[in-house]
Amino acid sequence: MTDSLDWSKIALFDGFSEEWLTRARGIFDRLDVPAGTLLIEEGQSGDEMYILVRGRVRVTKSMLLKDMSLPLAVVENPRKVLATLDGSRFPLFGEIALIDRDTRSATVTVLEDSQFLRTDRERFFDLMESEPALAAHLLLILAKRFAATIRKGNTELVKLSTALALALSRGS
């Protein structure tokens, strides 16, 4: 599948020349994962980024902070589905792990047999050393993605804060 894959259709490689695509391909390997597998687990460490090229995954996040407990009647399912993704648009995830070594911020579960392109922090930083212009372009694309995620999170935070303020004002 990856042999016939058109890498220029993957958003991470937007604007890449054929030469850059060839060099970028060198830091990725193919990973086939069966349905039901936890590819990434929230709270665990990891340094790999994935691009989904075939199949489907679900991204979830815990609604409770670590060591927080609530009565079961209040929260039936303590996980929120953030997204269900398929390989048609080549979504990527785990990219924060390329930059820092903190714990994973969400869980990614493989819903059907899937295929991924995978790289890790070491290969990514090796590319930065050997191909600084290419790596700078990749980092710019990732930075734009981070910025969009932060903006979306800020909007959601304002909505939640407003809803909470309204709920509290009605309760007094």
Give 42-93 pLDDT, tens digit per residue. Answer: 999 999 999 999 999 999 998 776 666 655 545 566 788 999 999 999 999 9
Q: Are 52 and 30 in contact (CB under 8 A)?
A: no
pTM of this structure: 0.84
The CA–CA distances, whole Å, from 118 to 47, 137, 172 equal 10, 19, 52
pLDDT of residue 13: 93
Candidates 171, 172, 5; CA nearest to 88 is 5
Q: Which of residues 149 and 65 earns the better pLDDT score?
A: 149
Average the pLDDT over 106-114 and give the result: 97
pLDDT of residue 4: 82
Q: Is the pLDDT of residue 96 over 60?
A: yes
**Confidence class of residue 30 from pLDDT cuts 50, 70 and 90?**
very high
Q: Report helix, strand or coil for 37.
A: coil
**What are the DSSP calls for 87-101, one per residue?**
GGG--EE-THHHH--
Distance CA 57, CA 35 (A): 9
Domains within the chain, CATH numbers bracketed: 7-171 (2.60.120.10)
pLDDT of residue 120: 96
As to burial, measured by CB atoms within 10 angstroms (0-12 exposed, 13-18 middle, 19+ buried), residue 42 is middle
For 155, list phi and psi in degrees, rounded to 5.
-60, -45
* Other beta carbons within 10 Å of 96: 19
Q: Which amino acid is at 148?
A: A
